[in-house]
């Protein structure tokens, strides 16, 4: 853990600077402006951990930079590996707060599920993260840290192919950090060079903020989870207080979808709560006319949760009703459940209870 005094003695964390701030630092050091891109490339493309690794800066310049700055990567990371190949990363940040990311291999994809907050302000009744409240928003570099760490964990010939902002927290409640993190991820000159088409941001329904996503070029997923106002108010009270189901769906209808893109609607299936034929029929009506697909997520239980997972038969039945209405509908495979790495299972358990659940594979 880094106390404030020690942090200031060590200088500014280069990863905390956006492009204009990096340019200012470079100017203050009296260096030519191209040096800013050079340093940024070391941070994001070459994942340097020390200023000394920046070998295209002279020894003297590296010393000069080290006097002012440091590279503050996460001090500690625990990796839990699931029997199904999913890996959950628990990162400890400067102030001791922990945040989780999950790497999910599947056929030809390798998807990283990223967190935007430690905890969450929302209180969706079926989500473990919701029970812990919000510890704090993540900063842009703490979001990027999850990507850098996961990439470093992989063999050099393996690349993360897709990124979903579906980890801990509500991405649109931390919009500034989210946007800056996406800018660094998608920057081709010095950033990670990600295509925004491979990035999906999932929201519980902060309708008034949807439009902020469009200019970033990423995909939009909306967690619907209910088909009546009452049901949604019961299951997702906080977010439903901000925007009703009706408001949310009209925001989705107005969303400036790029050609060839679709909105993804996520729908957590809770046995005997929202998984009946009548729910499926209402869902069809609600999303009619929106270019979309539906991802059904059978509920992933966690200790103390009040809901049940429907049987496979019930899930297939729900899917078939949507299919008949010609909706593209997929069932999200549950991955990493044994390490509490599946949807809605991130956070809150004490590390000692996690240890009884899982085997710690490595620390990095
Ligand atoms: N706050 C954002 C992103 C995090 S949740 C959002 O709500 O979209 C990512 C997805 O997991 C959401 O679709 C959410 O509805 C779903 N989810 C939450 N808890 C779950 C659980 N216990 N089982 C299955 N899916 C869950």
Mind listing the pLDDT tens digit for each residue in 107-117? 899 999 999 99
What's the average model confidence in pLDDT over 315-330? Answer: 98
Ligand 1: centre distance to CA 281 (Å): 22
Output the pLDDT for position 345.
72
Distance from Cα 168 to the centre of ligand 1, integer Å: 9
Phi, psi dihedral angles at 331 (to 5 degrees): -100, 120
pLDDT at residue 356, rounded to an integer: 36
Beta bridge partners of 222: 203, 265
Residue 347, pLDDT score:
77
**Ligand 1 centroid to residue 127 C-alpha, Å:** 6
138 in Cβ contact with 168 (< 8 Å): no
Bigger pLDDT: 339 vs 138 = 138
Of the candidates 348, 350, 271, which has an alpha carbon nearest to the alpha carbon of residue 306?
Answer: 271
Mean pLDDT value of segment 134-159: 96
Residue 100: active-site member: yes
Q: Which atom of ligand 1 is nearest to the CA of 344?
A: 19
What would the mean pLDDT of 56-65 be, rounded to a whole number? 97
pLDDT for 364 equals: 47
pLDDT tier for residue 275 given thresholds of 50, 70 and 90: very high
Are the C-beta atoms of 100 and 152 separated by less than 8 Å?
no
CB distance 268 to ligand 1 below 6 Å: yes
Helical spans, DSSP H, in 187-255: 229-235, 237-242, 245-254
CA dist 269 to 74, 92, 185, 214, 313, Å?
A: 36, 32, 32, 28, 12
Q: What is the pTM of this model?
A: 0.93
- Judge whether residue 254 has pLDDT over 70: yes
* Residue 111 CB less than 6 A away from ligand 1: no
**Which residue has the least CA distance to atom 13 on ligand 1?**
223
Q: Distance from the CA of 346 to the center of ligand 1, in angstroms?
A: 10
Q: Is the pLDDT of residue 74 over 60?
A: yes
Check: CB of residue 322 under 8 Å from CB of residue 294: yes
Atom 14 in ligand 1: residue holding the nearest Cα = 223
Q: What is the pLDDT of residue 232?
A: 98
Residue in 24, 57, 30 with CA at minimum distance from that of residue 42: 57
Q: Assign 337 a pLDDT band (cuts: 50, 70, 90).
A: confident
Other C-beta atoms within 10 Å of 309: how many? 19
d(CA 66, CA 89): 29
Q: What is the pLDDT of residue 348?
A: 59
For range 82-98, the mean pLDDT: 93
Q: Candidates 124, 174, 238: which one to mutate for ligand 1, based on the most atoms within 8 Å of Cβ? A: 124
Tell me what percent of the residues of the chain surpass a pLDDT of 90.
Answer: 83
Q: In the structure, what pLDDT confidence band is assigned to residue 358 with cuts at 50, 70 and 90?
A: very low
Determine if ligand 1 sits within 6 Å of the CB of residue 223: yes
| Confidence band, pLDDT 50/70/90 cuts, at residue 7 | low
State the Rg of the chain over Cα: 21
- Mean pLDDT of all residues in 126-142: 95
CB of 300 within 6 A of ligand 1: the answer is yes
Mean pLDDT over the full length of the chain: 92
> Out of 100, 142, 170, 266, which one is annotated catalytic?
100
Taking residues 37-42, report their average pLDDT: 98
pLDDT of residue 2: 46
Beta bridge partners of 12: 69
Contacts of 62 (CB under 8 A, 6+ apart): 51, 52, 54
Catalytic entry in 77, 120, 292, 343: 343
Q: Is the pLDDT of residue 5 over 60?
A: no
Alpha helices per DSSP H over 308-350: 312-324
Q: Is the CB of 202 under 6 A from ligand 1?
A: yes
Mutate to test the pocket of ligand 1, among 99, 126, 252 (most ligand atoms within 8 A of CB): 126
Which atom of ligand 1 sits closest to the CA of residue 334?
A: 24
Instruction: Return the top range by mean pLDDT from 1-15, 214-228, 299-313.
Output: 214-228
- Ligand 1 close to Cβ of residue 318 (< 6 A): no
* Residue 69, CB-side half-sphere exposure with 13 Å CA sphere: 23
Minimum mean pLDDT among 125-134, 327-336, 338-347, 351-360: which range? 351-360
Cα(9) to centroid(ligand 1), Å: 40
Residue 351 has a pLDDT of: 44
Distances (CA, A) of 350 to 98, 259, 354, 356: 11, 45, 6, 10
Distance CA 340, CA 298 (A): 15
Residue 361 annotated among the catalytic residues of the structure: no
User: CA 182 to CA 200: how far, in whole Å?
Assistant: 10
Does the beta carbon of 116 sit less than 6 angstroms from any atom of ligand 1?
no
Residue with CA at minimum distance from ligand 1 atom 11: 343
Q: pLDDT tens-digit profile of 201-226?
A: 999 999 999 999 999 999 999 999 99
């Amino acid at each position: 853990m880094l106390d404030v005094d020690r942090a200031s003695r060590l200088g500014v964390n280069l990863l905390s600077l956006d492009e204009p701030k990096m340019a200012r630092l470079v100017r203050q050091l009296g260096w030519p402006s191209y040096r800013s891109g050079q340093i940024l490339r070391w941070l994001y493309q070459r994942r340097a951990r020390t200023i000394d690794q920046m070998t295209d800066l002279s020894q003297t310049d590296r010393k000069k930079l080290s006097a002012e700055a440091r590279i503050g990567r996460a001090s500690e990371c625990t990796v839990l590996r699931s029997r199904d190949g999913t890996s959950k990363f628990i990162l400890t940040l400067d102030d001791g707060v922990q945040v989780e990311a999950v790497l999910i291999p599947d056929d030809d994809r390798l998807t990283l599920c990223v967190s935007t907050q430690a905890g969450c302000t929302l209180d969706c009744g079926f989500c473990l993260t919701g029970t812990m409240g919000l510890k704090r928003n993540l900063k842009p570099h703490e979001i990027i840290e999850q990507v850098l760490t996961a990439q470093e964990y992989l063999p050099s010939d393996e690349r993360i192919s897709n990124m979903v902002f579906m980890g801990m927290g509500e991405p649109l409640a931390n919009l500034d950090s989210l946007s800056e993190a996406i800018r660094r991820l998608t920057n081709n000159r010095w950033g990670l060079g990600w295509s925004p088409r491979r990035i999906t941001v999932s929201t519980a329904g902060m309708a008034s903020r949807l439009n902020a996503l469009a200019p970033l070029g990423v995909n939009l997923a909306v967690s619907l989870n209910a088909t009546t106002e009452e049901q949604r108010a019961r299951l997702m009270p906080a977010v439903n207080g901000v925007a009703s189901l009706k408001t949310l769906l009209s925001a989705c209808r107005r969303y400036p979808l790029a050609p060839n893109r679709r909105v993804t609607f996520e729908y957590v299936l809770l046995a005997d709560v929202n998984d009946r034929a009548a729910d499926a029929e209402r869902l069809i009506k609600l999303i009619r006319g929106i270019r979309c697909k539906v991802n059904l997520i059978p509920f992933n239980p966690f200790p103390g949760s009040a809901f049940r997972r429907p049987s496979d038969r019930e899930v297939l039945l729900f899917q078939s009703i949507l299919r008949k209405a010609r909706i593209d509908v997929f069932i999200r495979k549950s991955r990493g459940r044994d390490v509490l790495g599946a949807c809605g299972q991130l956070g809150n358990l004490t590390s000692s209870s996690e240890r009884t659940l899982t085997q710690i594979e490595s620390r990095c």
